[in-house]
């Protein structure tokens, strides 16, 4: 049975709920559905699973887009209720008929719901019985299938004059079992076989073999055996082996291999004075305004939206058949912008669900409605759901008398150390003291790289060399920063692939031990489908291995190499969609000041142009 059935508006106003099934739900499945599915443009999914302590629920929903209504049904996950979809459709139909924006109470709908529930239950039981009957028919037909893919028809061919088993015009059942059968091949032709021979009607046509010819099979095996013997003889011929010179293993070492010790300071290294603004502090609206001015001057061209919807322009309400070709074109368009295929499909399904049944104005083109709906969906996805003002958070931590800790994580070779240096430059430009913790104790040259950055940026570097526990190094660095009154600690970690379980456990241990304020995932803007796999596994691993009840997933994203992708900006959309974490920074060059924030309007415009 259902645990809850709820009707509410898109604004969150509850209009009706069934009192009879108003069971006390564990947790907050409805709120989680709205927050994690409906607002994140995942409404194209068929169902939503909610796990709570002691219970697991399945939620299904449908929309009335014209009236702005949402219908949600909740039931236990272990139940397989076949009538839920049909019940929601009937409730949507009947409630929409009595809905009025001015009406506040719908208690009279209770009796209507009882009738609809009985009707849906009856149809569900009928469908269940029909499914069982279909399975039996399928099982029976699969048993009567010939090895060649044809169907055997028992008793469809009568025996010849000398056939036994027929007495007084009736056929004996025991004799019928030994009677040869008529074989219907895949083309649907019946080949009668009597006493191992083809019937007279089939003698003129091409003969069909009923069983395997063992003599031919033995001949083929004999031929194959001869060939294998010949091959073996050829392989037995000896081959000359190339002799290799022995290596002088006892040769003395040519030089020192460990370069992790501190090096002497030299006056030749360049020291960069921190002055001026980073690109993060520049207003992104200036660029968008320039682009809009260029678009106004450019001549109007017929876009791909208009070409797709040309055949359905002027319809009063959008139907599913109208949206199918449009969503396919929209999905292909997003994929050309480097959006992951799975993400593009889900977003298109969500947009289609929001437009289904929606009525258009008299002079409103369908292309304009679809483009507007997609733009609104992308805006909801890319807009941060929480504050990303790091400077304010640093000030709050400073008032508490502790340093603000940022951990940089990601796969190999994406530019974590360089991005860390850019963030350090930006923080120092705001007169904040920064301490860099060299916790990449695995990669050769990692400590030396950070040492060079710290020298040029005139920041403090905390290092312990190589082959040390990164969690302990980070803990000691944070303790040192607290003593020396540093404002921010930037923790560099070793790159690791998302499928490497031991390294992922080590990263989770570092985060559990030190409890950073911000976990930044550093990823490339060049990747497409791989971005989904990388970020989802990093996020899931950190959440699963969290030492506390409050999980610590990825807090933000830093995309590197953004200046090399032209209009292939889809990785930003894929990463935000799969994790829900906002994009904090974009790396757009090789200099320290080449770091900027995400311009959401510019990204949406690029995706839709």
- Cite the DSSP H helix spans in 463-528: 470-483, 501-514
Helices (H) and strands (E) in the chain, counts: 19, 20
Cα 226 to the center of its chain, rounded Å? 55
Choice between 22 and 77, residue whose per-residue pLDDT is larger: 77
Q: How confident is the model at residue 83 (pLDDT cuts 50, 70, 90)?
A: confident
Strands 182-184 and 197-198: unpaired
Q: Dihedral of CA 256/259/262/263: which sign?
A: positive
pLDDT tens digits, 176-230? 444 444 444 444 444 444 444 444 444 444 444 445 556 665 666 565 554 444 4
The pLDDT of residue 209 is: 47
Contact 1, 21 (CB under 8 A): yes
- Strand partners for 73: 5, 60
pLDDT tens digits, 523-561? 988 876 777 788 888 888 888 887 666 667 889 999 999
d(CA 150, CA 134): 20
The pLDDT of residue 426 is: 94
At a CB cut-off of 8 Å and minimum separation 6, what does 257 contact? none
Angle at CA of residue 384, ends 379 and 388, nearest 5°: 145
Residue 290 has pLDDT above 50, yes or no: no
The pLDDT of residue 244 is: 56
Residue 145 has pLDDT above 90, yes or no: no
d(CA 486, CA 95): 61
Residue 107 has pLDDT above 50, yes or no: yes
**E strand or H helix that includes residue 488:** strand 488-492
d(CA 128, CA 24): 29
The pLDDT of residue 303 is: 54
Three-state SS annotation for 288-323: HHHHHHHHHHCCCCCCHHHHHCHHHCCCCECCHHHH
The pLDDT of residue 566 is: 84
At a CB cut-off of 8 Å and minimum separation 6, what does 468 contact? 441
Half-sphere exposure of 50 (CA within 13 A, CB side): 22
The pLDDT of residue 521 is: 93
The pLDDT of residue 341 is: 87
Distances (CA, A) of 357 to 3, 13, 58, 312, 555: 28, 21, 25, 14, 38
Residue 399 has pLDDT above 80, yes or no: yes
DSSP 222-254: HHHHHHHHHHHHHHTS--PPPP-PPP-TTPPP-
Local structure of 466: helix, strand or coil:
coil
Residue 602 has pLDDT above 80, yes or no: yes
Choice between 199 and 36, residue whose per-residue pLDDT is larger: 36
Choice between 578 and 160, residue whose per-residue pLDDT is larger: 578
Q: What is the mean pLDDT of residues 401-406?
A: 95
d(CA 534, CA 410): 8
DSSP 36-78: IIITTT-TTSS-EEEEETTEEEEEEEEEETTTTEEEEEEEETT
pLDDT tens digits, 582-595? 999 999 988 998 99
Q: How confident is the model at residue 132 (pLDDT cuts 50, 70, 90)?
A: low
Among residues of the chain, what percentage have pLDDT more than 90?
21
Between the CA atoms of 307, 308, 311 and 316, what dihedral angle is there, to the nearest 10 degrees? -110
pLDDT tens digits, 298-324? 444 445 555 555 444 455 577 877 778
DSSP 177-228: HHSPPEEE-TT--EE-EETTEE-HHHHSS-----S--HHHHHHHHHHHHHHH
Local structure of 595: helix, strand or coil:
strand
Which residue shows structure tokens 């739900």? 25
At a CB cut-off of 8 Å and minimum separation 6, what does 362 contact? none
Q: What is the mean pLDDT of residues 373-385?
A: 89
Tokens representing 185? Answer: 């091949």
Residue 161 has pLDDT above 60, yes or no: no
Residue 392 has pLDDT above 90, yes or no: yes
The pLDDT of residue 43 is: 67
Residue 157: CB atoms within 10 Å? 18
Q: Which residues of 8-45 are buried (b: 16+ CB within 10 A; e: fewer)?
A: beeeeeebbebeebeeeeeeebbebbbeebbebbbbbe
The pLDDT of residue 170 is: 43
State phi, psi for 592 to the nearest 5 degrees: -65, -30
pLDDT tens digits, 265-278? 544 555 555 566 67
d(CA 32, CA 288): 35
Tokens representing 374? Answer: 């997609």
Q: Which domains does the chain have, with CATH numbers?
A: 2-127 (3.30.450.60), 302-382 (1.20.120), 390-608 (3.40.50.300)
pLDDT tens digits, 232-267? 444 445 445 555 555 555 555 455 444 455 545 544
Strands 170-171 and 166-167: antiparallel
Q: What is the mean pLDDT of residues 486-497?
A: 93
- Averaged pLDDT score across all residues of the chain: 75
- Alpha-carbon Rg for the chain in angstroms: 35
The pLDDT of residue 564 is: 87
């Amino acid at each position: 049975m259902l645990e809850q059935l709820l009707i509410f508006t898109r604004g969150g106003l509850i209009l009706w709920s069934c009192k009879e099934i108003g069971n006390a739900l564990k947790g907050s499945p409805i709120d989680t559905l709205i927050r994690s599915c409906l607002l994140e443009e995942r409404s194209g999914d068929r169902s939503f699973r909610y796990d709570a302590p002691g219970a697991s629920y399945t939620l299904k929903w449908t929309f009335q887009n014209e009236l702005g209504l949402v219908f949600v049904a909740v039931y236990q996950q272990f139940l397989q209720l076949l009538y839920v979809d049909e019940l929601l459709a009937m409730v949507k139909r009947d409630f929409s008929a009595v809905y009025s924006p001015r009406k506040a109470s719908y208690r009279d709908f209770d009796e209507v719901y009882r009738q609809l529930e009985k009707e849906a239950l009856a149809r569900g039981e009928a469908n269940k019985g029909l499914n069982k009957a279909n399975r039996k028919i399928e099982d029976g037909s699969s048993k009567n299938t010939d090895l060649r893919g044809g169907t055997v028809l028992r008793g469809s061919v009568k025996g010849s004059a000398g056939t036994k088993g027929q007495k007084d015009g009736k056929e004996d059942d025991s004799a019928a079992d030994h009677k040869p059968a008529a074989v219907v091949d895949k083309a649907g032709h019946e080949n009668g076989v009597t006493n191992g021979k083809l019937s007279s009607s089939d003698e003129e046509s091409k003969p069909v073999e009923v069983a395997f010819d063992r003599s031919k099979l033995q001949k083929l095996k004999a031929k194959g055996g001869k060939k294998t013997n010949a091959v073996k003889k050829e392989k037995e011929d000896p081959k000359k082996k190339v002799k290799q010179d022995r290596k002088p293993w006892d040769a003395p070492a040519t030089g020192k291999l460990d370069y992790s010790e501190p090096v002497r300071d030299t006056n030749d290294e360049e020291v960069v004075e921190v002055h001026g603004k980073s690109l993060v502090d520049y207003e992104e609206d200036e660029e968008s305004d320039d682009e809009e001015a260029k678009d106004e001057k450019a001549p109007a061209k017929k876009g791909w939206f208009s070409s797709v919807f040309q055949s359905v322009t002027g319809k009063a309400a959008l139907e599913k058949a109208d949206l199918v070709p449009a969503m396919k074109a929209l999905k292909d368009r997003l994929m050309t912008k480097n959006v992951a295929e799975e993400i593009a499909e889900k977003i298109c399904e969500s947009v289609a669900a929001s437009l289904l049944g929606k009525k258009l104005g008299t002079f409103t083109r369908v292309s304009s409605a679809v483009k507007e709906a997609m733009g609104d969906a992308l805006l909801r996805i890319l807009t941060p759901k929480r504050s990303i003002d790091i400077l304010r958070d640093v000030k709050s931590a400073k008032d508490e008398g502790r340093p603000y800790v940022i951990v940089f994580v990601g796969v190999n070779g994406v530019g974590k150390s360089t991005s860390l240096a850019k963030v350090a430059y930006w923080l120092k430009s705001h007169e904040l003291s920064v301490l860099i913790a060299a916790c990449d104790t695995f990669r050769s040259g990692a400590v030396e790289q950070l040492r060079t950055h710290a020298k040029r940026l005139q920041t403090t570097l905390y290092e312990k060399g190589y082959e040390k526990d990164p969690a302990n190094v980070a803990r000691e660095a944070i303790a040192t920063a607290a003593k020396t009154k540093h404002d921010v600690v930037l923790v560099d970690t070793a790159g690791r692939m998302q499928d490497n379980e031991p390294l992922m456990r080590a990263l989770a241990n570092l985060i559990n031990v030190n409890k950073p304020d911000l976990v930044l995932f550093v990823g490339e803007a060049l990747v497409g489908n791989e971005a989904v796999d990388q970020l989802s596994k990093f996020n899931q691993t950190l959440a699963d291995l969290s030492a506390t009840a409050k999980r610590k997933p990825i807090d933000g994203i830093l995309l590197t190499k953004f200046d090399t992708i032209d209009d292939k900006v889809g990785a930003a959309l894929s990463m935000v969609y799969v994790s829900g974490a906002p994009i904090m920074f974009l790396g757009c060059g090789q200099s320290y000041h080449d770091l900027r924030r995400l311009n959401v309007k510019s990204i949406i415009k690029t995706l839709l142009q």
